[in-house]
Amino acid sequence: MATEVEHAADPHGGIDPNENYLLAGKGIWSWLSTLDHKRIGVMYLISVILAFFLGGMFALLIRLELLTPGRTIMGAATYNRVFTLHGAIMVFLFIIPSIPAAMGNFVLPIMLGAKDVAFPRLNLMSFYIYVIGAIFCLFSIVSGAVDTGWTFYTPYSTTSSSSVVSMTLGVFILGFSSILTGLNFIVTIHKLRAPGMHWRRLPLFVWGMYATSVIQVLATPVLAITLALLAMEKVLGLGIFDASLGGDPVLFQHFFWFYSHPAVYIMIVPGMAVVSELFATFSRRAVFGYFAIAMSSLGLALLGFLVWGHHMFTSGQSEFATMVFSGLTMLVAIPSGVKVFNWTATLYKGSIWLTTPMLYALSFLVLFTIGGLTGLFLGTLSVDIHLHDTYFVVAHFHYVMMGGTVMGFLGGLLYWWPKITGKLYNEPAAKVSWAFIFVGFNAVFIAQFIMGSRGMPRRYYDYVPEFRPYHAFSTYGSWVLAVGFFILAGVLVQSLLKGAKSPPNPWGSAGFEWNTSSPPIFSNFAETPVITRGPYDYHEATEEELFDGFPEDFKKTES
Amino acid sequence: MSSATTTEASHSPVEGGHGHGHGQHAPFLAHHFDTPAHQFDSAKLGMWIFIATEILMFGGLFVAYGLFRGQETEMFHQAHERLDKIMGAVNTVVLLFSSLTAALAVRQSQVGDRKGTTRWLIVTLLCACIFLVVKFFEYQHKFHDGLLPGHYFTAHLAEHAHNGHVLPYRAHMFFALYFMMTGLHGVHVLIGMGVLSWALKRNLDGKISSRYFTPIEIGALYWHLVDLVWIYLFPLLYLVG
């Protein structure tokens, strides 16, 4: 097509495409108006870390209040708002955009050998939609907050006098950000793979992002219409979810979980995607069962749409429906198990390098397994009747969401930190922070497993004195966890200010994103790369070559 | 027109537009695409995925409709008698015709007929306006008769009797769904008009040619979705109730 060129145009807006992306364009405006996927990824990263901090503060307040029975620091009405805000912020503002929008934006196009995502303007727009949605949520917090729980169940939400409408509008808007990011990634993965990057060579991170994007595109619109109906119910008294007007409150639960169960996989599949990369890099081995792991991500995406009813075993579904949903829920264990066993097999006879990212990946493996297996308890009908709405459920999904996704997020953050910032971080200090986080996390939630199995209901403000030791232990654990996060924040700030300059490939990874400089140049690669090998072909290079660059990468020939 | 096969060719590393410092791009070709065909295919795939999203969004309303119609078949039948079938049918014809004119606009842009493209886009936009005007009169009539959702429903009162019949109070559910479904569709008509107006502006600015007609193509694609949703709404609400 070069022959059809009409006139020379500068495609880069006056920016040198070979300049380090952090220096290409100066001033705050060059960031706010950037179309560069790397800068948008960094802006997302900062946003989700702020959201995580805010949600974490609410978590600490919940634990502090529950340190003793009765009133500790706040009243019951405030407590309802605090746990709702913890959930809503962590789910909608942190965990859903965390790995896909922040890290996915940064590394996915580089892994594919592309210069950018397919629709850079749409990408920037999705970031601003996220910001607008976040503003609505913050407005809700300062204008009375929400006390319904993050699930906005009717009739709580329709009768609550708290600021439900602005929160649901905020979540509605955030949903579009999520949809547009997913759409962008699907098209990018289909259309912007470099020459030689066929589907069997896609890094597993990309496969995970692909599965996640499919869920984002297909599930999120259902949440949008549900929240639109809920807002209309509040404003017009629509009645669709109101039994006294002829509607059906359980319909809200069906609609809500038709999104929110797949959303669980929007949260966990990216975590799995990150640790798949970490296991390969730090075991110096090709991922065992590459194709099985790739397909199990798609399997989770599919099954995610078929199991929403397991949130509603006690909501008055028919017994037949609960049986079907219970059976389908058990199927989720298959792709999850495929992943866990293949990761374990990857470690076997690998030369394991225990860096902090690898410690997070191993934490993921252990904690996700606990979280996943306790999910089977809850999917079993008779057991769920006892455990429903207890702290057992809370501990289960925190083991998956925090033990899984957050561990993956932190592992990925440290793993790609040199790629993103061009700086190394203090490895021993990072290991200390990992130890605090790992121990603190388990202390918080193992106590909750035990008291949940003994009947402590979730979301309660007060409890009988028998539960006091467990609650106290859990609260002490939350302090250990908080210390771990503050040490980690210190490590990262220190790295930004005084960190040593990173070589292009500090981990000696065979991943394609390490083939470019760290931090990458504005256009990612000086020349469009030609991919001649898989992302985990550690057997094709010596240890020095891993750090200095694969010999194959210079031949540019297809074998 | 391009096809899936063009993507294979477009990955060829010797194709122009690669690397940097050439500055030799066609003005509409973004720097991360290899060829115009590659860019066009990507835009079209993106729009198809967005259409899938839109269908699932309406899907929630269709499920609610199916559920409540199953529970209250008789009431839905009574309530649907109060919709104006003639106006609904007129709007259906108008929208179907507008889909044809949108497709003709795409055709004219592909063969490089700028004036023809403009003409058909304007006809499509006029059809959209007619649709909204008819919808406005329908809504106005419903407002007048108290056929409104939720708190505002008054058609069960004697003063709103229709041929001596009043609707049961729970008929407000039908109108809740009617207004949510046609209202959301109306919003999509407005969005579609925005997209088509943007495409029209690109055409008037001379940005569209037989080598670059992506805005017309994806605008028309979106417009067909707007039409498609109505094709389902019309029989479900106006004909079978």
pLDDT value at position A1?
34
Span B171-213, pLDDT tens digits: 889 999 999 999 999 999 999 999 999 999 999 999 999 989 9
Q: What is the pLDDT of residue B57?
A: 95
In B5-113, where does DSSP find H-type helix? 5-10, 36-71, 73-80, 85-110
Spatial neighbors of A327 by CB under 8 A, at least 6 apart, are: none
Is A277 among the domain residues?
Answer: yes
Cβ contacts below 8 Å, chain A against chain B, sum to 172
**Within a domain: B89:** yes
pLDDT per residue over A78-124, tens digit each?
999 999 999 999 999 999 999 999 999 999 999 999 999 999 999 99
**Tokens, residue A164:** 């439900």
| pLDDT for A274 | 97
Q: What is the mean pLDDT of chain A?
A: 92
Nearest CA in chain A to B71: A246
pLDDT higher than 70, residue A400: yes
Confidence of residue B15 (pLDDT cuts 50, 70, 90): very low
pLDDT of residue A97: 95
Query: Which residues does chain B have within 8 Å of residue A216's beta carbon, measured at their own beta carbons?
Result: none
Given a cut of 90, is residue B162 above it in pLDDT? no
Tell whether B92 is covered by a domain.
yes
CA nearest neighbour of A25 among A519, A526, A33, A496: A33
Percentage, residues of chain B above pLDDT 90? 66
| Cα A277 from Cα B174, distance rounded (Å) | 52
pLDDT for residue A4: 35
Supply the pLDDT for residue B23.
46
Kindly tell me if the per-residue pLDDT of B125 is higher than 90: yes
What b/e sequence results for A353-381 when a residue is b if at least 16 CB atoms lie within 10 Å of its CB, and e otherwise? Answer: eebbbbbbbbbbbebbbbbbebbebbbbb
- pLDDT at residue A541 in the model: 85
Q: What average pLDDT score do residues A486-513 get?
A: 95
Nearest to A212 by CA among A312, A102, A301, A309: A301
Domain range for A76: 30-554
Burial group, residue A419, by CB count within 10 angstroms (0-12, 13-18, 19+): buried
| Nearest residue to A510 (alpha-carbon basis) of A277, A344, A349, A197 | A277
pLDDT at A90: 96
CA A176 and chain centroid, separation: 17
Q: Does B176 map to a domain?
A: yes
**For A190-226, what is each residue's pLDDT tens digit?**
999 999 999 999 999 999 999 999 999 999 999 999 9
Interface confidence (ipTM) of the complex? 0.91
Q: What is the pLDDT of residue A556?
A: 45
Predicted pLDDT of residue B25: 59
Q: Which residue of A has its CA nearest to B58?
A: A225
Chain A hits for B41, CB-CB cut-off 8 Å, are: 191
Work out how many domains chain A is built from and give that number: 1
> CA of A218 to nearest chain B CA: how many angstroms apart?
6
Chain-chain contact of B176 with A240 (C-beta, under 8 angstroms) = yes
Residue B112, pLDDT above cutoff 60? yes
CATH of the domain at A97: 1.20.210.10
Q: Do the domain assignments include residue B9?
A: no
Least CB–CB distance from B60: residue in A190, A193, A255: A255
Interchain CB distance below 8 Å, B23 and A10:
yes
pLDDT tens-digit series, residues A408-465: 999 999 999 999 999 999 999 999 999 999 999 999 999 999 999 999 999 999 999 9
**Tell me: the pLDDT tens digits for A139-152?**
999 898 899 999 99
Q: What is the pTM of this model?
A: 0.92
**Environment class of A134 (CB within 10 Å of its CB; exposed 0-12, middle 13-18, buried 19+):** buried
Answer whether A154 touches B (CB < 8 Å).
no
Could you tell me the residue range of the domain that residue B200 belongs to?
Answer: 52-239
Decide if pLDDT at A2 tops 60. no
pLDDT above 90: residue A26: no
Please determine, for residue A10, whether its predicted confidence score (pLDDT) is greater than 60. no
Q: What percent of chain A has pLDDT over 70?
A: 96
pLDDT for residue A527: 86
Q: Residue A6 is nearest to which of B15, B27, B38, comparing CB atoms? A: B27
- Asked if residue A38 is part of any domain, the answer here is yes
The verdict on residue B66 lying in a domain is: yes
Q: Tell me whether residue A80 is in a domain.
A: yes
Residue A16 forms part of a structural domain: no
Residue of B nearest to A213 (CA): B49
Is some CB atom of chain B closer than 8 A to the CB atom of A184?
Answer: yes
Q: Which residues pair with B209 in a beta bridge?
A: B212
Whether pLDDT at A271 is above 80: yes
What total of structural domains would you count in chain B?
A: 1
User: Which range has the worst mean pLDDT, A16-25, A401-410, B69-78, B224-233?
Assistant: A16-25
- pLDDT tens, residue by residue, A330-384: 999 999 999 999 999 999 999 999 999 999 999 999 999 999 999 999 999 999 9
Min mean pLDDT across A189-198, B107-116, B151-160 is at B151-160
Please name the member of B16, B49, B184 whose beta carbon is closest to the beta carbon of A183. B49
The one-letter amino acid code at A307 reads: V
Q: Which of A169-178, B145-154, B193-202 has the lowest mean pLDDT?
A: B145-154
Is the distance from CB of A407 to CB of A364 less than 8 angstroms?
yes
